[in-house]
């Protein structure tokens, strides 16, 4: 992982929330689909979906205790050989939450799979059988789900798995097998780092794009690292961080856009800076030119980076950040709706 990419997807230990748990109101589960072009910006009549990282029922309930309401979107991470839908995901489905999932090309024991091997998998081979088993799990879940195969394939953590063209071939094999097995309740989310959309080398996002026929949503993981890694780090507003993704999306106007992860570090020189960053992010999606955006899912880990200090991307980094996060979730421009 390099600065300006994103934190590791495995959520660090959280501090315990102490707010009283409010009973959430149930909402219909949602899959985010492509928008008409041009699309109107987020508004009470056309809200985005707000969510956060939450892989367990306890984590969801902690978030909802802070919110005092239901957290509609849940960001979940799974390995290649994981059970995709365990008790926590079944509970989430039955309580009206919407899942935004990643399936990594890595096994639970930490070993990586090569994109080329996945792409070359033939019927009857172990990898092909595992793809079929994944498809059966998705079908059996029986509710809409948003799924990304190996999010952030262009980030350093995935370089050993293969190149952009090899990722493209693997993606097309994965989606091809899932479709052949009769999966109809999934939308396929192509998720890159926000930095991937502006870099110019062999890891630029365009080289990893599998094609409009196998992608439903174009996502980015975007962070304001500020000075949490380097004293020379710059404060960056979300509008700057995701501009590359937004421009890429304009070339694919029938695709929805989303933030699969987002967050900001605190500013030691200005205790209210992060809270204002979140308020600015809320207002951003209400502006013309951002109508393709469908969801924003906040990162909720402490995010210790390279053995250094915590970047504190989560909403508990300060009371002001907590208040701004709650306000963002409750803004009338955020909600749970089906786009189609």
CATH number of 276's domain: 3.20.20.80
Instruction: Report the range of poorest mean pLDDT among 4-18, 82-96, 98-112, 237-251.
Output: 4-18
Q: Does the structure show a pLDDT above 50 at 190? A: yes
Q: Is residue 313 part of a domain?
A: yes
pLDDT band at 308 (very low <50, low <70, confident <90, very high): low
* 199: number of Cβ within 10 Å: 17
In a domain, 104, yes or no: yes
Distance CA 93, CA 148 (A): 18
With 80 as the cut, is the pLDDT of residue 120 above it?
yes
State how many domains the chain has.
1
- Give the single-character DSSP code of 26: P
What's the length of the chain?
340
Q: What's the pLDDT score for residue 306?
A: 60
- Give Cβ neighbours of residue 207 (< 8 Å, ≥ 6 apart): 154, 163, 164, 165
Q: Quick check: bond before 38 cis, omega within 30?
A: yes
Phi first, then psi: what are they for 310, rounded to 5°?
-65, 135
Q: Model confidence over 22-78: pLDDT tens digits?
A: 323 333 344 444 444 467 888 888 899 999 999 999 999 999 999 999 999 999 999
Distance CA 83, CA 137 (A): 8
Asked, for residue 77, whether it belongs to a domain, the answer is: yes
Reduce the DSSP state of residue 193 to 3 states and report it. Answer: strand
Within a domain: residue 116? Answer: yes
Look at residue 101 in the predicted model and tell me its pLDDT.
98
Position 38 in a domain: no
Q: Does a structural domain hold residue 34?
A: no
Q: Is residue 2's pLDDT more than 60?
A: no
Beta-carbon contacts of residue 263 (< 8 Å; ≥ 6 apart)? 7, 223, 224, 298, 299, 303, 313, 314
- Quick check: is 239 in a domain? yes
Q: What are the residue ranges of helices labelled H in the chain?
A: 57-67, 87-94, 115-120, 126-141, 164-180, 238-241, 243-250, 273-284, 319-330
Q: What is the mean pLDDT of residues 229-241?
A: 92
pLDDT score of 106:
98
Return the closest-CA partner of residue 229 out of 54, 32, 1, 3. Answer: 3
Output the pTM of the full model.
0.88
How far is the C-alpha of 149 from the C-alpha of 89, rounded, in Å?
A: 18
Domain that holds residue 211: 49-330
SS3 label, residue 192: strand
d(CA 227, CA 266): 9
Kindly state whether residue 5 falls inside one of the protein's structural domains: no
SS3 186: strand
Average pLDDT over residues 92-96: 96
Phi, psi of 87 (to 5 degrees): -55, -35
pLDDT of residue 307: 60
């Amino acid at each position: 992982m390099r600065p300006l990419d994103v934190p590791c997807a495995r959520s660090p230990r959280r501090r315990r929330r102490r707010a009283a748990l409010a009973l959430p109101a149930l909402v219909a589960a949602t899959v985010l689909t492509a928008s008409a072009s041009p699309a109107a910006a987020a508004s009470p009549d056309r809200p985005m979906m707000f969510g956060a990282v939450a892989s367990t029922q306890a984590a969801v309930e902690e978030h909802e205790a802070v919110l005092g309401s239901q957290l509609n979107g849940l960001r979940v991470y799974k390995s290649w050989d994981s059970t995709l839908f365990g008790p926590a995901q079944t509970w989430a489905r039955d309580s009206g939450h919407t899942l935004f999932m990643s399936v990594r090309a890595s096994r639970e024991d930490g070993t990586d799979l090569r994109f080329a091997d996945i792409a070359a998998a033939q019927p009857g081979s172990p990898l092909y059988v595992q793809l079929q088993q994944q498809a059966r799990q998705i079908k059996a879940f029986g509710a809409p789900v948003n799924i990304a195969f190996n999010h952030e394939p262009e980030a350093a953590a995935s370089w050993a798995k293969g190149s952009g063209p090899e990722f493209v071939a693997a993606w097309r094999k994965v989606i091809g097998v899932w479709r052949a097995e009769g999966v109809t309740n999934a939308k396929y989310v192509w998720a890159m780092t926000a930095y991937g959309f502006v870099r110019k080398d062999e890891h630029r996002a365009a080289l990893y794009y599998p094609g409009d026929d196998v992608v439903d949503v174009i996502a980015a993981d975007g962070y304001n690292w500020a000075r949490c890694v380097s004293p020379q780090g710059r404060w960056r507003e979300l509008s700057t961080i995701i501009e590359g993704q937004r421009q890429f999306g304009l070339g694919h106007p029938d695709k929805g856009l989303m933030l699969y992860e987002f967050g900001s570090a605190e500013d030691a020189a200005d205790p209210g800076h992060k809270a204002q960053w979140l308020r600015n992010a809320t207002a951003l999606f209400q502006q013309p030119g951002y109508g393709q955006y469908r969801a924003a899912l906040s990162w909720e880990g402490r995010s210790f980076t390279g053995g250094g200090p915590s970047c504190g991307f989560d909403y508990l980094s300060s009371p002001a950040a907590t208040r701004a996060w709650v306000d963002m979730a409750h803004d009338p421009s955020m909600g749970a709706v089906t786009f189609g």
